Amino acid sequence: MQPKLTRFELDRLAEHYKLDPPGVDVLLEASEAKPTAPEIHRFLMRMLGVGGLISLAASLVFFVAANWSRLAVFGRFGLLELVLLGCALVAILKPPSATLGRAALFLAFVTTGALLALFGQTYQTGADVYELFLTWTLLGLPIAILGNWSVTSAAWLLVLNVALMLFCGWQPIGGLLWAVFGGQPRQPALLLLVPTWLNIILWFVFEGFRVEAVPGWVRRLAISCAFGFGSWAAILGIVDSPSSALAVTGVLLAMALVAFHSREKRQDIYPLAVVFGSAILIGVVFIGHTMEFRDEGVLLVMAIWLIGTSAFAAKFLASTARDWREGSAA
């Protein structure tokens, strides 16, 4: 849905050529800045369809959470399994890329999570919440692959990141990830490098192998999660000195790799913007921590850092975006 020109550029053209309203209409049409009637119709249809699907999925999750006493345990499991079976049948009869098949597999993905939650709720397994999300990620992976739909891929990525956040943020004892990392002396900053790099690896994989199910916006989601964790890791590393060098080096390496790859590809400046945003944030914390807030001058230095680096980043990103756009159009 990206138009040829931004609204800002269109405003400048309208101003420069002193266009009247019919002239602006032509401008909007020529730049494909105004959706056509069929496009509007399709958007509305998709919005209602996806909204309806998410409502049904939410209904299922709410139902499990309600722990309704009038329905016996067997009935609750039976109901969810019937929904899962129904979704599977629909997906077999109308396999993706049919809309119905994709929707059914999205619902199947959510139902898998709901079933796991019901299992934990019923049998009091003692599992940590992160284990629920992690198991959901693993069991839901084949469904997400079969679903071949960006919405299901994004949901899967979010579930994975919630699992990682719960594990790395709260550091519970027990479960699969604990078995892997539990024996080591765990420094939170270093632990946070794991989700950072996992998201970056996913981003690299789907940058290399472009598939319909992982379009640009899902890749952007992955890189945002990566540097969300990355910034967290570096900030903790700076504050918690024993792990600072390794944590900050790990994040800097990730930044360098992503920046290098983006510069090579010359397609999307979003990853570069995320790298800049993360570097600015880490920098401001570094200044505050290193100067130990000795006096109010530190605040001024932090403000100047923010102003200077964000101004540089904006100028660099704007000119890079323009160069890449012109390069791709040429």
Partner 1 sequence: MSASSLAVIEALRARGLVPSDLEPPVFDESHRPWFVSLMLGAAGWLAGILLLVFIGITFKPDDSVTLIVLGLVGMVGAWAMYRAESDNAFLGQLALSLSIAGQISLAIGLLQDVNSELLIAVVLLVLQLGVLVVMPDRTARTIAALFACIAWTYVVRFATFPQSDWDDWFEPLQDGELSSARVVVGWLATWTPLVGFAAWLVNREPDWMSKPLRDYLRPALSGVLITVAAGGFATEPLVMATLGPGSMGVDLGWWSLFPLLSIALAAFAAWCAFRLRNLGLLGLAIAASLVHLGRFYYLFGTSLMWKSAIMLGMGMLLIAAAYLLRKRLPAEDAP
What residues from 271 to 310 belong to the interface with partner 1 (CB under 8 A)?
Answer: 273-274, 276-277, 280, 284, 296-297, 299-300, 302-304, 306-310
Site string for partner 1, 19-58 (x = CB under 8 A): xxxxxxxxxx-xx-xxx--x-xxxxxxxxxx-xxxxxx-x
Cα 101 to Cα 82: distance, rounded to the nearest angstrom: 17
Using rule CB under 8 A, residue 73 touches partner 1: no
CB of 245 to partner 1, least distance (A): 27
Among 129, 246, 285, 321, binds partner 1 (CB under 8 A): 321
Q: Which is nearer to partner 1, 240 or 268 (CB)?
A: 268
Q: Are the beta carbons of 105 and 147 closer than 8 angstroms?
A: yes
Q: What is the DSSP string of 99-159?
A: HHHHHHHHHHHHHHHHHHHHHHHHHT----HHHHHHHHHHHHHHHHHHH--HHHHHHHHHH
- Measured from the CB atom, the residue of 201 and 318 that comes closer to partner 1 is 318
CA triple 154-33-36, angle to 5 deg? 85
Query: How far is C-alpha 244 from the geometric centre of its chain's CA atoms?
Result: 26
What is the rounded CA–CA span in Å between residue 197 and residue 164?
Answer: 12
98 scored as a contact of partner 1 (CB under 8 A): no
Task: Considering the complex, state which of residue 38 and residue 185 has its C-beta at the smaller distance from partner 1.
Answer: 38
Closer residue to partner 1 in complex, CB, 44/89: 44
Nearer Cβ to partner 1 (142/308): 308
Q: Please say which residue, 138 or 311, places its beta carbon nearer to partner 1.
A: 311
Tokens found for residue 194: 């794991």
Helix, strand counts (H, E) of the chain: 14, 0
Residues 169-188 that bind partner 1 (CB under 8 A): none
The span from the CA of 3 to the CA of 13, in Å, is 15
Which residue number, 19 or 139, has a Cβ lying nearer to partner 1?
Answer: 19
Residue for token digits 């101003």? 15
- Tokens encoding 48: 């209602």
Give the CA distances from residue 63 to residues 79, 94, 105, 116, 302, in Å, rounded to whole numbers and listed in that order: 10, 27, 19, 13, 49
269, 275, 279, 282: which one binds partner 1 (CB under 8 A): 269
Does position 265 interact with partner 1 (CB under 8 A)? The reply is no
Stretch 101-160 residues interacting with partner 1 (CB under 8 A): none
* Binding residue count for partner 1, defined by CB under 8 A: 95
Helix, strand, coil: what percent of the chain each, to 5?
Answer: 80, 0, 20
Taking the least distance from each CB to partner 1, the nearer of 10 and 166 is 10
Distance CA 17, CA 14 (A): 6
Binder of partner 1 out of 6, 125, 249, 290 (CB under 8 A): 6
- Residue identified by tokens 């939650």 is 117
Of 248 and 273, CB closest to partner 1: 273
Least distance (Å) between residue 132 CB and partner 1:
16
Measured CA to CA, the distance from residue 79 to residue 71 in angstroms comes to 10
* Touching partner 1, residues 195-224 (CB under 8 A): 217
Least spacing, CB of residue 118 vs partner 1, in Å: 13
Rule CB under 8 A: choose which of 17, 123, 170, 260 binds partner 1.
17
Smallest distance from partner 1 to CB 287, Å: 11
